[in-house]
Amino acid sequence: MLINNQSIAIVGGGPGGLTLARLLQLKGADVKVFERDLNKNARVQGAPLDLHDDSGLAAIRKANLLEGFKQNYLVGADRELIVNENAEIFFSDHDSKPEEDFGHQHFRPEIDRGTLRKILLESLQPGTVIWDSHFVSMEKLNEGWFLYFKNNTTAYADIVIACDGANSKIRPYITDSKAFYTGITMFEGNILQAEENAPNVNAILKEGKIMAFGNQKNLLMGQKGNGDIGFYASFKTNENWATNNGLDYNDKAQIVNWFKSAYPEWNPIWLELFENAETPFIPRPIYCIPFDQSWEAQSNVTMIGDAAHVMPPFAGEGVNMAMLDALELSECLTSDQYETLQEAISVYEIRMRKRAAIAAKESLDNGELMHAENALENMLNFFNDPHE
């Protein structure tokens, strides 16, 4: 095996990085995960994730974690409502969604991000994750890399794998190619104990998801397993809106007033989200990889997930692509069919770039449909298409 006697540093402990660590450890690899969070409970996890049979779930199966996933996924959380700005329901599959189960091509079970992270963390050997390790830089040393972290710690690894997200600090060591701004920004909020703190929206949501469309803007939300609601206001604006809008993201009154002015045509029921959310709110400008990105593979550094192919979240592909990356990279690194690590990494990267470009184009196109003047009609056509 090419990675025998090779130390591997995975930088980033999201779903992709943890899945990769698990898959490599099953093959006997020497792996450490360097994660910037202080500990496993350091932050609120975002909205639930839906895993797809041929990507996210394929990685879960290969990692021998399917039974644990089945015990923890959110039954019924994939049910969808499509509404307009007045919260009038135009589509619901709460009573008509066909019975699907694991192994079905279109079954996309949802799971809380925190729960998925817990399943993956508990599958790893003790001491695998090195917390409070905020990557700063690295430099070549012998045949490997010397890594520097913000807390003044260092580490050496023969192979470095970037799993550090859309703003990856390792990506520039691999390519100069940069993501472009899509024109869309999402504004994230989170409501604790939604049944008490947002009862009107919670009653509509019914433990599923809502997509609300009106005036070229969206509100997207989903129920978490603990009863919280994660929600996003999604709209077109300039790339620097998040830093130039003058908003204090810890000032709830300011944010409520912003929503009233930015979404003036929307029913006051939606104010409940902004009036009762935790602070701070989080602005997220949405970026996308160039579809033709390319670089020459190296023998000791590569990347997966958003570090490799950040894309809009409008096709549900982000985490699934990251976990499929983990699966395919682990198989290339542990295969006996390649003569060198550079060849193994090159095969992985070529495949990854090709499928990521397809998924990114789909996500970008969906984002345009969802923010068009006729977005509601677009999404109704999408969900009512029997071929979807």
Among all chains, which residue has been given the structure tokens 């929206």? 201
Question: Mind listing the pLDDT tens digit for each residue in 250-276?
Answer: 999 999 999 999 999 999 999 999 999
* 365 annotated to bind ligand: no
> Is residue 185 located within the same domain as residue 242?
yes
**pLDDT exceeds cutoff 70 at 46:** no
pLDDT of residue 106: 72
Name the residue among 38, 1, 24 with its Cα closest to residue 123.
24
* 113 annotated to bind ligand: yes
CATH number for the domain harbouring residue 244? 3.30.9.30
* 22 annotated to bind ligand: no
d(CA 213, CA 216): 7
> Is residue 262 located within the same domain as residue 299?
no
Of the pLDDT bands very low, low, confident and very high (cuts 50, 70, 90), residue 218 is very high
> Is residue 215 located within the same domain as residue 169?
no
> Is residue 283 located within the same domain as residue 138?
no
Name the residue among 189, 164, 171, 380 with its Cα closest to residue 284.
189
Summarize the confidence of residues 1-10 as an average pLDDT: 94
Summarize the confidence of residues 87-101 as an average pLDDT: 78
Which residues pair with residue 31 across a beta bridge? 8
CATH number for the domain harbouring residue 15? 3.50.50.60
Q: How many domains does the chain have?
A: 2
**pLDDT exceeds cutoff 60 at 386:** no
Question: Mind listing the pLDDT tens digit for each residue in 282-309?
Answer: 999 999 999 999 999 999 999 999 999 9
Of the pLDDT bands very low, low, confident and very high (cuts 50, 70, 90), residue 101 is confident
Inside any domain, residue 64:
no
Domain residues for 213? 180-288
> Is residue 207 located within the same domain as residue 149?
no
d(CA 180, CA 167): 12
* 50 annotated to bind ligand: yes
Helices marked H in the chain:
15-26, 56-62, 66-72, 113-123, 194-197, 199-205, 241-244, 252-262, 271-276, 306-309, 318-333, 341-370, 375-384
> Is residue 166 located within the same domain as residue 256?
no
pLDDT of residue 48: 80
Q: Which residue has the higher pLDDT, 376 or 93?
A: 376
> Is residue 132 located within the same domain as residue 219?
no
Question: pTM of the entire structure?
Answer: 0.92
Inside any domain, residue 88:
no
